[in-house]
Structure 1
Amino acid sequence: MCQYFGLTCGGYKKDIFFDFETSPGNHGVRFRRPLLTVKERERMSQWLVSSAPPKTTLRILSRIEDECERADVTDNIEIHQGPFGAFRFNPIQNEPSLEPAGDIQDIDSSSPEDVVGTGNPYQIHPHVPLSPWSQGMMQLMFDQPEDVPTPPSPGFLDAMMIPNGVGSDMDTPECLATFVPDPYYNNPVSPTSLASSMGTTKAVPQDAVFLLKHYASSVISLMTPFRHSKTPWHVLFIPHTKSCLAALALGDDLSDASLCVFYGTLAISAFSLGGVSKSQTWSEKAVMFNQQAQHYARSMLMTAYNIPKVAKYKSILMALLTMVQVTMFSGNRSHSEYYFLEAEKFIRMRGLKRKKSRKVRLLHHCYVFERIIHESVFICGANSGQRHHVRTAIESSGLGRYSLDSLSFRLSGWKNLHQEMMRVRGQEEGENDLHLERPGFWSNTLYPEIFGIPEPWIFLLSQIIRLGKEKDAAEEEDATHCLSLKDFIARAKTLEEYINHLQPPSLEITHSQLDRDIIQNMLDAMKNALAIYFYRRIHDVDASMLQPKVVAVLECLLRCESTDSTVVHGSAGFIWPAFIAACEAEESSIQAAFTDWFDNSASRSGLSCFRQTLADIQKIWQEKCCAGKSVTWLDLMKRTMPLQQQF
C-alpha cells in the first residue's frame, strides 16, 4: 500500500496518538497494527465466506451494484464499513435496515468524541437474522451498560481502533483486545469466553490515558527548561509508555521492565494530580501505582543480568530512572539512593562496555546529572551496606575495567585544572567517565540540550563532592590514602577560582526568549549555589559571609517566578540551588521568601518533593536557632537526613 500511494513506509508498530498532540507528523496517513494475526484473519474470512449462502451473497452484491449504478457521481456512498459491511445494504421494499442511522466518519479524521462515542449509531432491527459470529460482535459492540463510568479526561486513544458505539469506559480496550474469531464456536461469542480462550490479560488502568496526558503536558515540563520535543522524556519515556499502554490494550505480554516504566509513570502523574487538586483519591491511586511499579522493579532486577537477556537495556534503565523519579518526586530520598545505586551497577556492568547509541547516552546523562545532585546532599551514606555490595559486585564481575572513574567518588590525579579542562577528551573517555571524575572538554556532551547546564558546571559539583570526601577521610583515623594538606589547599584554591570565573554560554537563537530567560536565571542560581556549597562543604566559612550569594539565588528564583506565573519549565532543576541557598539564609524575611517559593512550586506542580525539601530546610533553621551558629550545615544534614540502611 505504501508503494501504491507513493509513501515512504515506516513499518508497523504499536503506537498511540493523543488528541492534544499537535505534531504535523500525527495528521498524515497512519497504518495501524492489525488487531488480529494473519492466521486469525484468514480463519475469519474463510468462516465468513462459508457462513454466507452463495445465492444470498450474489443477490446482496447485485443490489449493491445496482445502487452504485443508479447513484449520481457526486453522491457519497458508504458501502464498506468493516468486515461485515459487504452484508449491509439499503432497505428495499419492507426488508429491515442494517445501515447506520447517521453518517459514519472515518476514524482518522474524526474528533476524539466521535472515536469513542457514548451512543449507538446503528439502528439494528430486533428480528434481523445474524450469523453466530455477528451476534457475538454486536453483543460486544453494543450491549453496553447504561451506567458506564466516564473517565476524568477528554484524552482518547486514536490508535485503538475503537468502533463507534463503544462506551467510554477506559477498560473497554481490554474487551476489544480479546477479539479472537473462533470458527468452532456455534454459539454467540461473549467477552468472557473470548478472554478465557486467550488466557488472562492485564487490565488497562481506567485513568491511564488521563494520567499519561497530564504527565506529557505538565509533569515533564518540570524536568527540563526546554519546550522542544527532543528531550529524553519526549524521545524515550513517553513513547515507551504509550507503547506499553497499546500493548496492554491489545493483550500483549510485557516485560517487568516495561510494566515498571508504565506504572511508575502513572504514579508520578497521580502524585502530581493529587498535590494539585488536593484529592485523596489521586493520592491513593498514586500509592497503588507506586506499589505496582515497585513490584515489577523487584522482579526486573532478579533477571536484569540474565543471559540471554530478558529485557532490553534501555527498558531496564528507563525503569530504574523512572523509579528514581517516583521516589524523588514523592519526597522519599532514601529510596532514591537504592535505585540510584542499582542504576549505577547496571550501567557499569551492562552499559559501559557496549557501543552507545544517542538514546542510550541520553539515559546515561539523565542518570549522571540526577546522581551527582543526589550525591551532594545525601552525604551520610558513603559507607552504607548497599554501596559496599554494589562496588563488590562490579569489581568481582571483572567489568570494572570499563569504568574510567572510581567507584566511590574519589579525586583523580589532576594538578592544573585550568590546563586540563582545555584537554579534548575522546569518545570512550567522555562516555565511560561515568561520574565526571576526569577534567577535559567533550564536544558530544548532552547536558546542555537536556538540562540547559554545561558539562563543566556539573563537573565542578562532582569535584567539590570528591574533595569533600577527601576531607572526611582525612578526619578519620585511617587517612593513609588521603591528600596531603598542601595538595588539599591547592586543589581547593583551584576549584574556588574556577567557580568564581564561570561564564554562562551563549544560548542558541533557536530558543524562545522565555526559555533563554529561564536558563540564564538557572545558570546564575547554579553558579551562586556552587559557591555556597563549596565554601560550606570545603572551608566551612561563617554563614554571614554567604548571605550575598544566598540573596542572589533567591533573586533568580523570583525572576523566573515572575516571568512564568504558571509552572516554571525546569523548576525541578531549581530545587538544588534553592535548597543549598535556603539552608544558609539567616534573615527572617529571606527565609520567608524561600518558604513562599517552595510553597508556590509545590502548589503548581503538585509534587511533594518541594514541601519535603522545605520541611528539611525548616528543620535546619530551627536547629541553628536552638544550637547556635557554631553548628555547621554538614552536622545538621547528618542529623536531619539520616540514611535508612534497609529499604
Structure 2
Amino acid sequence: MATLTDEQSTQSHPTRTRSFGGCTTVTIAFPRSILVVRVPNYGTQCRSRHVKCDEGRPTCAMCRYFGFVCAGYEKGIFFDFESSTDERRFRRPLLTETERERMSQWLVSSVPPESALQFLTHLDDLCENAAPCRDLQVDCGPFGAFRLSQLPSVPSADIVPEETPDPSTSSPPEDVVRFDDDFTVPSEPPLTPRTQRILESIFGQAPNTPSPDTDTGDMAMDLCRNEAVLNDAPLSNFQDFPMTSMTAEHQPQYLQNTDLAQIPPPNPCFSLTTTSKTVPQEVMLLLKHYTTTVISLMTPIRHTKTPWHILFIPHAKTCLAALTLGEDLDNASLTAFYGTLAISAFSLSGLSQSQMWLAQGTAYKQQALKHAKLMLTTAYDIPKVSKYKSTMIALLTMVYVSMFSVDREQTEYFFLETERLIRLRGLKRKKSRKVRLLHHCYAFERFFYESTFTGGMNSQQRHYFRRSIESSGLAQYSRDDLSFRLRGWENLDQEMMEVKSQEDGENDLHLERPGIFSATLYPEIFGVPESWVQLLSLVIRLGREKDIAESHDLPNPLTLKDFSSRAKAIERRINNLERPSQAQLDEHVSNMLDAMRQALSIYFYRRVYDMEASMLQQKVIAVKDCLWRCAGPTVLHASAGFIWAAFIAACEAEDRELQMSFSKWFKDSAQRSGLSSFRETLARIERIWREKRCGNGISATWLNLMRMDASFMVG
C-alpha cells in the first residue's frame, strides 16, 4: 500500500483519501420496469451516480437505500506495466480488515517475534540439505516449504465422468483438441491438512475444490466460411457461404545465453482440455521467451515502446492474471493468450529440438483456433462482445501463429479477416495511437505477404471478403481500393511529395495513394520509412496489373503505354530512394534498410520486368553483405525486413559460394529463433537453386515456381 511522508504530503496538493468509484451496480431499462442485475466490471459505480459510497461490506448503504442489488467488490491483482502508474490507485487491500487481523493474530501466536528470523534460517538450511530428487514437506512454526515431483497420471475418484451426448441429437464438434494418453491432465493435488487448517482459521473454509467447469462448451457454428481454416481442413466452396450483413452476423539465463542444454522439457501434463480458466504450468517460461526472443522476429527496434511491449505482452499478462484469479475471459482474449503461447512453444521446440514443445505448441494453436472461431461469430454483433483492440490483437496473433507455423492457407484467411475488421470497425472511428499501432502491424506484414502472393486477386475467398465489405456500406471510409490494383496518376514524383491529411493517411490502409504522411508509425515500429513501404505497395500493384493484362481475368487492364510509363516512374523512385539520416539509426537498422532497399530493387526487376538473374548479382551480393554485418552468435536480428530481403535476394543468387552464404544465414537464424519458417523458406530457395543447376534456368524463379506449383509456398 502506497504511503506519503509528512514532508511529501505537505508539499503536494490535497487529495481525497477515499478516491475509489465505489461498488458496482448494473441497471438495465426495459419498458415500464427497471431490471437490476449483478454483473461485475460492466456496471455503474456509485460515483457515476453522484452518490457517496460508504464502501460497506457485503453491500453498501447507498445501494440498500435506493433498492439496487449491490455487486460489492472483487479482489483483483493488477500488473503495473508503466513506471508512471499512480500507485495510489491500487491501494485497496486484497483482504478485509477482519481477515488481516486473523492472519496477524495467528502469526504472532505461533512464533515469538524475536524468534521469527531463527525459524526462517532453520527452514532455509533444511531445504538446502534435502535430497533434490525427493518430495519435501518442511514446517518450522508457522512457516513451511514443500516440493512435489511430477504426479502420475492417475484417474481421480473425485472426477465425475462427462455425460456422453446422444449421437442421434448431436455430433462431436470438429474443433475440440484431442490428446493421447501421454497428455492426460492429472487432477489437482489436495491441500495438506496443515494448509487447510490455516485457510479455515482465516477464511472460515478451505478452497480445496477446483472451481466448476465453465468452458464455453461445444458451440454450434453458423458461419461456414470459418470452418475450413479454423478446423485445419481444406477450404470449402466459397460459393456456398452465406452473404449476410456483417453487422448482424517465463531460467531467463538460458534464454539470454542460448544454452540449449539448459532448456527444460515441457511438462506433458499441460492443461488445455479442461476449463478456459486453467493456467498452463509453463506459461511464465513461454511468456519470458516470447519477450526476450520472439519479439526480435517482429521488429528490429530495441526499445520498450513497440506494439508488442505496449499491447501484446501486457494483454497476455492481463489474461494470465485473470485466469489465475479464476475470472472468465472473452474469446478474443483467450485467442491472443493461447496464440502467444503457441508461438513461444514453437520457438522453444526448434531451440531444444524437443517434440514435446512442438506438440504443446500445436495444442496451443488448436486452442487458439477454437477460440478464434467462437470470437468471429460475434465480432460484428451490436452491442459489441469484445473491444476492438482485443479483437485486433487476437487476429494479429493468429496471423503470426500461421506465419511461424508456415501455414499459408491460414495466413491468408486471418489476413483477410483482419482487413475486414479494420475496414468495418476501425476506419470510421477516431483512431487512438494504440489502434494505429495495430493497423500498422497488420499492413506491414500484409505487404510482405502480398509481394509473394500469386494466387489471383479474384479468388473466391478474396471475392467473398470483398463483397462482405462492400455490402456493409462502410467501404466509403477506405481511401484505397479493396483489390490491390494500381490507381491512376500522372506524375508520380509530384504526387509522392504531396502531404496527406490525417484522415487520408490513416484510412489509406494499403498505401495506394502516393504522398507524405508525417504521422506515420512505420519508422517508430519497424525502423522503415513509409516511402519504402509506399514503393513496395506500388510495385505489388504494378505486378498485379501485369498479371491481369496477361490473364484477362479482370476488366480494364492497363495499356502498354500506361504500364511502361508507370513502371519507369516507380523504377526511378526506387533508384533515388532516400534513406534516413545516419545519425538517427543504429547499426543493425541501418544495415537492414540497405538490405531492404537493394531487395526492393531486385523485387521490382523480377516482378515487373522479369529480368535475367545475372544482371542482379551485384544487388544480391549487397544484400548478403548487409545481412552478415548484423549477424551475431547470440543476437537475433531477423525481423520481417531482414527475412523478406534475404528471400528475394537468395532466390536470384547464382554463384555457389553466394548460395552457401545465404543458406548459412537461414540456418543460423533458424537455430537462434527456433522457428521452422526459416528452414521451410530455405527449402524452397534450395529448390530454385536445383532447378537452375539441372535445367536451362528459364523458369527457375520464385515467381514462376509459385505460379506452376501450388505446393511452392513462401513461409
TM-score by length of 1: 0.76
Residue equivalent to 1:102: 119
2:706 is aligned to 637
Alignment deviations for residues 175-221 of structure 1 (CA, whole Å, 9 cap, x no partner)? 99xx999x999997443446359997711000001110111111112
Q: Give 1:30 deviation, angstroms.
A: 8.9
Give the aligned partner of residue 15 of structure 1.
78
Distance 1:600 1:197, change over 3 A: closer
- Larger helix percent: 1
| 1:582 maps to which of 650, 653, 675 | 650
Q: CA–CA distance in 1 between the matches of 2:625 and 2:187?
A: 48
Q: Structure 1's 569 and 542: CA in aligned 2 closer, same or farther, altered over 3 A? A: closer
Give the Cα–Cα distance (whole angstroms) in 2 for the partners of residues 229 and 14 of structure 1.
23
Letter in 1 for 2:447: I
Q: What is the deviation of 1:83?
A: 4.2
> Higher mean Cα deviation, 444-453 or 185-194?
185-194
Is residue 541 of structure 1 aligned with residue 560 of structure 2? no
Alignment of 1:35-46 (within 5 A): 41=96, 45=98
Query: 2:416 aligned to 341, 346, 367, which one?
Result: 341
Deviation, structure 1 residue 624? 3.1
CA separation in 2, counterparts of 1:631 and 1:292? Answer: 41
- Counterparts of residues 236-251 of structure 1 (less than 5 Å): 236-251=311-326
Q: CA offsets, 1:432-453, max 9 Å, x none?
A: 0000000000000000011100
Letter in 1 for 2:587: D
Number of residue pairs the alignment of both structures matches: 540
In 2, Cα distance between equivalents of 1:91 and 1:256: 46
1:507 CA drift (Å): 4.7
Structure 2 CA distance for partners of 1:98 and 1:403, relative to 1, 3 Å: same
**Matching residue of 2:103:** 84
- Which secondary structure does the structure 1 equivalent of 2:293 belong to? helix
Q: Distance in 1 between matches of 2:390 and 2:91?
A: 23
Amino acid aligned to 1:423: E
Q: Please list the CA deviations of residues 8-40 of structure 1 after superposition, one character each: whole Å capped at 9, or x if unmatched.
A: 9998974347xxx9x86699889477656xxxx
Higher relative contact order (CA 8 A, sep 6+): 1
Distance in structure 2 (CA, Å) of the matches to 1:588 and 1:390? 44
2:477 aligned with 1:402, yes or no?
yes
Whole-angstrom CA distance in 2 between matches of 1:436 and 1:173: 56
Alignment of 1:61-460 (within 5 A): 83-89=102-108, 102=119, 120=138, 122-124=140-142, 146-147=148-149, 189-193=205-209, 195-196=211-212, 202-460=277-535
**RMSD over equivalenced CA pairs, Å:** 3.8
SS of match in other structure, 1:293: helix
Measured after TM superposition, the shift of residue 382 of structure 1 is 2.3
Q: Distance in 1 between matches of 2:145 and 2:304?
A: 41
Residues 172/381 of structure 1: CA separation in 2 closer, same or farther (3 Å cut) = farther
1:484 is matched with: 559
Offset at residue 574 of structure 1 (A): 0.7
What corresponds to 1:56 in structure 2?
A: none
Alignment of 1:533-572 (within 5 A): 533-561=603-631, 564-572=632-640
1:221 & 1:625 partners in 2: Cα distance?
Answer: 35
Q: How has the CA–CA distance of structure 1 residues 497 and 361 changed in structure 2, closer, same or farther, with 3 Å as cutoff?
A: same
Compared with structure 1, are the counterparts of its residues 147 and 342 closer, same or farther at alpha carbon in structure 2 (3 Å cutoff)? same
Match status 1:616 vs 2:635: no
Which letter does structure 1 place at the counterpart of 2:601?
A
Asked if the contact 1:180–1:194 (Cα under 8 Å) also holds between the matched residues in 2, the reply is: no
Is the partner of 2:311 in helix, strand or coil? helix
Letter in 2 for 1:560: C
| CA offsets 1:259-289 (integer angstroms, 9 cap, x no match) | 1111111111111111111111111111111
Given the alignment of the two structures, is residue 473 of structure 1 paired with residue 558 of structure 2, yes or no? Answer: no
Residue in 1 aligned with 2:597?
A: 527
C-alpha separation in 2, matches of 1:118 and 1:488 = 76
Structure 1 residues 440, 187: closer, same or farther in 2, change over 3 A?
Answer: closer
Shift of residue 569, structure 1, vs aligned partner = 3.1
CA distance 1:29–1:473, change in 2 (3 Å): same
In 1, are the aligned partners of 2:137 and 2:146 still within 8 Å (CA)? Answer: no
Paired with 1:550 and 1:599, the residues of 2 have a C-alpha distance of: 18
The residue that corresponds to 2:127 in the other structure is: none
User: Structure 1 residue 330: deviation in Å?
Assistant: 1.6
- Counterpart position of 2:223: none
Asked if structure 2 preserves the Cα contact closer than 8 Å seen for 1:100 and 1:121, the reply is no
In structure 2, distance between residues paired with 1:539 and 1:591: 23
Deviation string, structure 1 residues 398-444 (Cα, Å, up to 9, x no partner)? 01111110001011121111111110000000000000000000000
CA distance in 2 between partners of 1:15 and 1:97 (Å): 34
* Pairwise CA distance, 1:639: 3.2
- CA deviations on 1:360-419 (whole Å, 9 max, x unpaired) are 000000000000100001222423222111101000000111111000101112111111
* Residues 89 and 97 in structure 1, CA contact (< 8 A), matched pair in contact too: no
Post-superposition shift, 1:570? 4.5
Q: Deviations over 1:486-542 (max 9, x none)?
A: 111000000111101112111555x6xxxx111111111111111111111111111
Residue aligning to 1:65: none
Aligned-partner Cα distance in 2 for 1:98–1:82: 21
Query: Within 2, Cα distance between the matches of 1:286 and 1:194?
Result: 26
Cα distance in 2 for partners of 1:194, 1:318 equals: 30
- Decide whether the 8 Å contact of 1:583 with 1:617 is kept in 2: yes
Question: Residues 145 and 230 (structure 1 numbering): CA distance in 2 closer, same or farther, change over 3 Å?
Answer: closer
Deviation at 1:310, TM superposition (A): 0.5
User: Residue type matched to 1:440 in 2?
Assistant: G
Whole-Å separation in 2 of the counterparts to 1:383 and 1:174:
59
Shift of 1:253: 0.7
Show the counterpart of 2:31: none
CA contact (8 A) 1:579 1:617 kept: yes
Contact 1:90 1:99 in 2 (8 A): no
CA distance, structure 1, for counterparts of residue 86 and residue 300 of structure 2: 27
Shift of 1:464: 0.5
TM-score (norm 2): 0.69
Q: Distance in 1 between matches of 2:202 and 2:92?
A: 29
Using the aligned pairs only, state the percent identity: 53
Partner AA of 2:286 in structure 1 = L
Question: Contact 1:14–1:243 at 8 Å: present in 2 too?
Answer: no
1:199-249 Cα deviation digits (max 9, x unpaired): 977110000011101111111122211211000000000000000000000
CA contact (8 A) 2:349 2:358 kept: yes
Q: Secondary structure at the match of 1:301?
A: helix
Q: Distance in 2 between matches of 1:380 and 1:32?
A: 57
Deviations 1:527-569, CA, capped at 9 Å, x for gaps = 11111111111111111111111111111111111xx332333
Deviations 1:102-132 (A, max 9, x none): 359xxxxxxxxxxxx98656515xxxxxxxx
- 1:598 offset after TM fit, Å? 0.2
Q: Which amino acid aligns with 1:417?
A: L
Q: Report the Cα offset of residue 629 of structure 1.
A: 1.9
- 2:664 is aligned, of 570, 584, 596, to 596
C-alpha contact (below 8 Å) 1:174/1:203 kept by paired residues: no
Matching residue of 2:693:
625
Q: Quick one: structure 1 residues 184 and 235, their matched pair in 2 at CA, closer, same or farther if it must change by over 3 Å?
A: closer
1:630 Cα deviation after fit: 1.6
Alpha-carbon offset, residue 89 of structure 1: 3.1
**Residues in 2 aligned to 1:90 and 1:208: alpha-carbon distance in whole angstroms:** 38
Distance 1:407 1:173 in 2: 55
Structure 1 residues 437 and 502, CA, compared in 2 at 3 Å: closer, same or farther? same
Structure 2 gaps, min length 5: 21-74, 122-134, 152-185, 216-274
